[in-house]
Structure 1
Amino acid sequence: MKLSDFDYHLPKELIAKYPVEPRDSCRLMVLNREKKSIEHRVFRDIVDYLQEGDLLVLNDTKVIPARLIGKKEKTGANIEVFLLKPVEDNIWEALIKNVRRLKPKDKIVVAQDFFVEFLERQEDKVIVKLHSKDIKEDLEKYGHIPLPPYIERPDEEKDKQLYQTVFAKKEGSVASPTAGLHFTEELLKKVKDKGVNITYITLHVGLGTFKPVKEEDITKHKMHEEFYSIPKESLDLIEKTKESGKSVIAVGTTVVRTLESFVLTGKTEGFTDIFIYPPFEFKIVDKLITNFHLPKSTLLMLVSAFASKDFILKAYNEAVKQKYRFFSYGDAMFII
């Protein structure tokens, strides 16, 4: 498979800068893999496609305000620190643009009692130390929600709520599991009332999910590791659902990667760098709720493995024609 096989034309105006409100009023494209059919619905109609005894698996990760904007202590130059993940107490992996201007022990002042100390470079990332009386409190106060760059606008106060799923619990992501953004509390209640089971896994979304594929031979691409965890009760529900012949429905590519990582490793917790592209045999996931993904992205490759590349690209071209809204704040797709 070549990288160019996963390209498509997307007019820039179809990239969503804000989500529709309420969340469940976005558009929903339903792809039937067996019939090769495409339907156009509204997201809240998803209940019509769920059966009693089915299992909806959601990612309960929570996005942290990972972007810190400060000034270099010595020169006053503006510097942005993008936190990736904690390594140990107060020590984080991060990204810093123009990192060559920094020397070890340089300080980036975010607020009066909150600064970032640059420690060292490590290949494409850096190691920093956060100095604060209460890091969690200061991140909430001074940190910015890390909106993807293609949204092309500064984050706003309301993004702290809009870029978070209503079921987010476990802090650790630097990007939202966006397929889950379409669910409201009311819609989840309707799903339960229909007799559909709901369970949760955790995968902390890292920048690796969005790292561009640069090799034309996609098999040479290497994913960044991301932490995942699957509770025992979730595994028990998955097993029960599979045995009953009902469907395990993944809400988002992060859930797919978590569940299929478990199949490959047998581990319910750990780090995964699984890269799913055609052909791939899915062992757990029967149906998939997802957003519309970037051209040439690993996420587009994953959905192409799930529904066949030709069918997915046909659906994407139809979405462009019908003026669907794309990417994180955009519309949704349900592959059945």
Structure 2
Amino acid sequence: MIAGSLKFNLPPSLNASAPPERRGIRRDHVRMMVLSKETGYACHDSFYRLDQYLNEGDVLVLNTSRTIPAILRGCLTGSQKEVEIRLAGKIDESRWHALIVGPTVQAGERISFSGRLKAAVEQPAKETPLSVICFSKSGTNLFDEIYSLGEPIRYEYIDTPWNLDYYQTVFASHPGSVEMPSAGRAFSWELIFKLRRKGIKIVFIQLHTGLSYFLDDNFDHHPSKNREEYAIPEETLSIIGEARKEGRWVIAVGTTVVRALETAFSTGQAHGWTNLFIHPGYELKAVDGILTGLHEPEASHLAMLSAFIPQDKLYGAYADAVEAKYLWHEFGDMNLII
């Protein structure tokens, strides 16, 4: 168990197995639990009323990374044994870290995904479950094949193979995340325009999310071992800097945004890699609040939330959310901590 995460009972019925649109509601009409950092007081509302909790001049920071279909299926050349590849993180234009599900592979073995796409195993898994594979294509040509052949990653609480479009935010523009940066999913363009009309500033960063689960509960996947690439435009940094000088709130939409901004403000680097682990007691330098989904028991994200709000108050709020039957995970409800 990661220090700072929480144990609690999450009934399986509260796992959101379908997108809101397939449950009969708009994506921006999911529920929202609003927590006060100071008092721990929680009120319950709908996400489309987000503008009621923010003021003119406040800043919302969103992640523009676009989800890719990160599961590829193929065969080992020669043996024809079936193998599943879960992309975990891009290394360069043709090489990726990947979880290989299926037979044990050796360095040099080749995997055929189609007549157009193959990959060689450069470095099989050793200290970690991840291997390094090199594709026969690179750059945009590789992404074209991935989009043609792949399917989005889904976990056991989702029993329907939903189309990749359901795993995108409306503002996603840069392909690269192997799991959806899900905190931004509830936004609609209508809500974004409503927020802007009120004078709330909306800015963007980019961080491509890596693979969060390696299909092995015994593997200790500590956040500090998870390196993710980020890029923050100068305009975004400038607007955040002005807001902080004026005493306005800077609200990160998602844990990915918190990691990117806190890394940038700590290192002075607008572009780079982050393995920052944010935990109870961490002194936040860039953000004042967070908008996020609801996180499962013992998730490392709960340690990050405990940097915003005392852990006992967070635990109490999560107990209330379970009692009120909020829905969890990427298709579920939202939590605003301010």
Please indicate, yes or no, whether the TM-score normalized by the shorter chain is above 0.5: yes
Alpha-carbon separation, structure 2, partners of 1:221 and 1:203: 15
Alpha-carbon separation, structure 1, partners of 2:56 and 2:166: 30
- The one-letter amino acid paired with 1:127 is V
Q: Is the 8 A contact 2:5 2:301 kept in 1?
A: no
Please state how far the C-alpha of 1:331 moved relative to its aligned partner: 0.5
Q: Is the 8 A contact 1:15 1:325 kept in 2?
A: yes
Number of aligned pairs? 330
Pairing partner for 1:73 from 57, 71, 77 = 77
The secondary structure found in structure 2 opposite 1:307 is coil
Alpha-carbon separation, structure 2, partners of 1:53 and 1:141: 42
Alpha-carbon separation, structure 2, partners of 1:303 and 1:323: 20
Alpha-carbon separation, structure 1, partners of 2:329 and 2:10: 11
TM-score scaled by structure 1? Answer: 0.91
Residue 15 of structure 2 corresponds to: 15
Pairing partner for 2:133 from 107, 118, 128 = 128
Pairing partner for 1:50 from 48, 54, 61 = 54
User: Larger % of helix: which?
Assistant: 1
Residue 229 of structure 2 corresponds to: 227
Aligned 1:53-64 pairs, distance under 5 A: 53-64=57-68
Identical counterparts, % of pairs? 34
Please state how far the C-alpha of 1:297 moved relative to its aligned partner: 1.3
Which structure 1 segments of 5+ residues have no match?
Answer: none
Residue 41 of structure 1 corresponds to: 45
TM-score scaled by structure 2? Answer: 0.90
Aligned 1:112-191 pairs, distance under 5 A: 112-123=115-126, 124=128, 125-132=130-137, 134-147=141-154, 149-153=155-159, 155-157=161-163, 160-191=164-195
**RMSD across aligned positions (CA):** 2.4
Once the two structures are overlaid, the 10-residue window that deviates more, 138-147 or 118-127, is 118-127
The secondary structure found in structure 1 opposite 2:194 is helix
Alpha-carbon separation, structure 1, partners of 2:115 and 2:213: 34
Aligned 1:1-336 pairs, distance under 5 A: 3=3, 6-21=6-21, 22-100=26-104, 102-123=105-126, 124=128, 125-132=130-137, 134-147=141-154, 149-153=155-159, 155-157=161-163, 160-208=164-212, 222-336=224-338
Which structure 2 segments of 5+ residues have no match?
Answer: none
- The one-letter amino acid paired with 2:260 is T
- The one-letter amino acid paired with 2:15 is I
- The one-letter amino acid paired with 2:40 is K
